[in-house]
Structure 1
Amino acid sequence: MTPTQLRAFASVVRLGSVKAAAAALGVTEAAVSLHVGQLRKELGDPLFTRTGSGLAFTPGGLRLASRAVELLGLQDRTVLEVREAGEGRRMLRLASTSLFAEYAAPGLISLFADRAHDLDVELSVHRAGDFEQLLLTRTVDAAVGPWPATSDGTITSRLFLNYQVLTVVGPGHPVTRAQPSLAMMREQTWVLGPSAADDAGVVPTMVQRIGVPEDRQQIFQSHAAAVEETKHGGGVTLALGFAVAQDLSSGALVRVPGRGLAGQGSWHISLLGGQQATPAAEEMARFVTTPRATQAMLRGGAVSHGRFKPAVHVTLWS
């Protein structure tokens, strides 16, 4: 078995078809079929068969799928550790939701990096629903966002910060003249950050609870851009309470009161359990709960990426 063969088979299992696996890997369907065929021949097992409703995996195929994820994750981790050892540096691969990445991550990473000059931090933005798979495949070392769905002990999570999401508008917006009903709020134009398109979290939950029609939603590339548009009368937005506190105080934004127009959220840091987490991930999990880290995150919106000492790579995933 080779890593290429295992990666092809693991992609077929994860995506449910040879065609989808080929597209994800950037190779031809024939290449994926060839790798799977070589595994079948070597292991003496068909691994899966095609049915009218998709692929049906044999017991051996399911066992190989589980082992392939472990082996590929171990390979990636080994390559990373060898490279880090050769360069005298460590790497922390941190996944987060877009809301945390934009507002809290800059201050946290900047302060964390000041404590460990041999550490590089790679930050990537993902949907919260992808965190479990990213951790189990060792694609990332830690993930920050809502509490993960898993409860079997393979992933451990720790709460480190609660936050509030408020409905806000610019001064002079019609909804500020009287406490609006939800029906009135549904008729407004909503300018929202990328977290509104996530599959979990406070913002998408509030959008759904309020019942905002899709044709009334405008999704911006950043939450800051949505807030700026709102200041100029562009519509209604959902914003982090601590991030817009100064604008509310100065009158640049106005909070819209009403039932369902405010929400409470929490950020958790999740990593592999059972002593499988990397030392850097465990170090971050301890640090993120400290008062200094909390203060840095609450001030994080004012920290420029250019001030980061580590190499920070932000990847947006749709």
Structure 2
Amino acid sequence: MTPAQLRAYVAVVRLGSVKQAAAQLEVSESAVSLHIAQLRKEFGDQLFSRTAAGLAFTPGGLRLASRAAELLGLQDRTVLEVSAAGRGRRLLRVAASSLFAELAAPGLLELFAKRAADLDVELSVRNPASFETLLQTRAADIAIGPQSSALDPSIAAQPVMNYRLVIVVGPDHPLAGVRASAAQLREQTWLLGPSAATDLGAVQAMLRRLAVPDDRQQIFQSHAAAVTEAKRGKGIAPALSFAVAPDVRQGHLLLTPGPHATLEAVWHSLVLATGTPPAAAELSRFASTPRAIQAMIRGAGVSVGHFKPAVHVTLWS
């Protein structure tokens, strides 16, 4: 595993295309394909496959994307932090679950960053299981997403937003308008975003509750990509109710009725109980306000082309 291979893989994940990755890296498409083939051989994992809606990643492919980003991004992150400090700016590092980062974080962080002219906000997508470690090691200032059932005493948690996870299907799907049983849902092809590859969160809770087999699960590079495949009748997709509301109103998607097809959940903000940076403490308080919740809902539903997966770091300033 070489830096060149990791850079090629990161570019493919972020851009969703070998051609675009080659153009950005200023190398040939065959060179990028060779790097990907070498990684597949070394790890014994297909990493991803191509679909009409984009790239569908294996669990191993998602984990490699995250690790590759950490390795390659360490140098860039250090340069940013040193440069920001030299210019008298503060940096707030936010770790978020993939579901929150894709569908709620953009509106929240854009609004919050406007409150302080000297603040840069860095968002990284992380496995919720690592939130406590990230905070305790000062690798992140605040984490937002699902809360672990056994929280370390050094971590303080605050509810941010209640949300509902629903199951949607395309108008031509066999379950359209059907009050499906647990067994019927279990037998479907499940179209999933990156959150399905983690152990915590509403999507995993729904999959476990219904005992959905692994061979019925397809994981895509974003939750938006999974929902797009559901519109095409390729399967069923768990989705945030507020994120799919416009498509439901327009008839592009249908909600699957019944108690097995919905799940209520809560996002929490996590910070250190003591020694929390002031900006992190302020974001934790601000995130649960009506104005912040409205911003999160308005900012939902980014397209596949604009979603930045775990390998991307976004700065608001």
TM (norm. structure 1) is: 0.68
Q: Say if 2:136 is the partner of 1:136.
A: yes
Corresponding residue for residue 299 of structure 1: 298
Q: Say if 2:115 is the partner of 1:115.
A: yes
Q: Distance in 2 between matches of 1:285 and 1:258?
A: 34
Q: Distance in 2 between matches of 1:228 and 1:303?
A: 12
Corresponding residue for residue 125 of structure 1: 125
- Structure 1 residues 110 and 102: alpha-carbon distance in aligned structure 2, compared to 1, 3 A threshold: same
Corresponding residue for residue 192 of structure 1: 192
- Structure 1 residues 80 and 209: alpha-carbon distance in aligned structure 2, compared to 1, 3 A threshold: same
Q: Distance in 1 between matches of 2:145 and 2:179?
A: 32
State the shift of 1:213 in Å.
1.2
- Gap regions ≥5 residues in structure 2: 1-77, 307-311
State the shift of 1:84 in Å.
4.1
TM (norm. structure 2) is: 0.68
AA partner of residue 119 (structure 1): L
* Deviations 1:13-37, CA, capped at 9 Å, x for gaps: xxxxxxxxxxxxxxxxxxxxxxxxx
* Deviations 1:120-158, CA, capped at 9 Å, x for gaps: 111111111110111000000000011234545311011
Corresponding residue for residue 288 of structure 2: 289
Q: Distance in 1 between matches of 2:209 and 2:235?
A: 18
Q: Do the aligned residues in 2 keep the contact of 1:107 with 1:303 (CA within 8 Å)? A: no
- Structure 1 residues 314 and 149: alpha-carbon distance in aligned structure 2, compared to 1, 3 A threshold: farther
AA partner of residue 153 (structure 1): P
Corresponding residue for residue 48 of structure 2: none
State the shift of 1:180 in Å.
2.3
- Structure 1 residues 213 and 148: alpha-carbon distance in aligned structure 2, compared to 1, 3 A threshold: closer
- Gap regions ≥5 residues in structure 1: 1-77, 307-311
Corresponding residue for residue 271 of structure 2: 271
What SS does structure 2 have at the residue aligned with 1:239?
A: strand
Q: How many residue pairs end up in the alignment?
A: 232
Q: Distance in 2 between matches of 1:241 and 1:120?
A: 30
- Structure 1 residues 180 and 115: alpha-carbon distance in aligned structure 2, compared to 1, 3 A threshold: same
* Deviations 1:33-78, CA, capped at 9 Å, x for gaps: xxxxxxxxxxxxxxxxxxxxxxxxxxxxxxxxxxxxxxxxxxxxx9
AA partner of residue 121 (structure 1): V
Q: Cα RMSD over matched residues?
A: 2.4
Q: In the TM superposition, what are the counterparts of 1:1-318 in structure 2 within 5 Å?
A: 84-176=84-176, 178-274=178-274, 276-301=275-300, 313=313
More contact order relative to length (CA 8 Å, sep ≥ 6): 2
* Deviations 1:145-184, CA, capped at 9 Å, x for gaps: 1123454531101102000000110002111253222222
* Deviations 1:242-279, CA, capped at 9 Å, x for gaps: 000111111111111123211011111110012x1011
What SS does structure 1 have at the residue aligned with 2:172?
A: coil
Q: Do the aligned residues in 1 keep the contact of 2:224 with 2:301 (CA within 8 Å)? A: no
Q: Distance in 2 between matches of 1:192 and 1:80?
A: 33
Q: Distance in 2 between matches of 1:283 and 1:198?
A: 28
What SS does structure 1 have at the residue aligned with 2:243?
A: coil
What SS does structure 1 have at the residue aligned with 2:260?
A: coil
State the shift of 1:303 in Å.
6.8
AA partner of residue 139 (structure 1): A
Q: Distance in 1 between matches of 2:243 and 2:217?
A: 21
Query: How many percent identity over aligned positions?
Result: 53
Q: Distance in 2 between matches of 1:81 and 1:180?
A: 51
- Structure 1 residues 244 and 145: alpha-carbon distance in aligned structure 2, compared to 1, 3 A threshold: same
Q: Distance in 2 between matches of 1:191 and 1:152?
A: 33
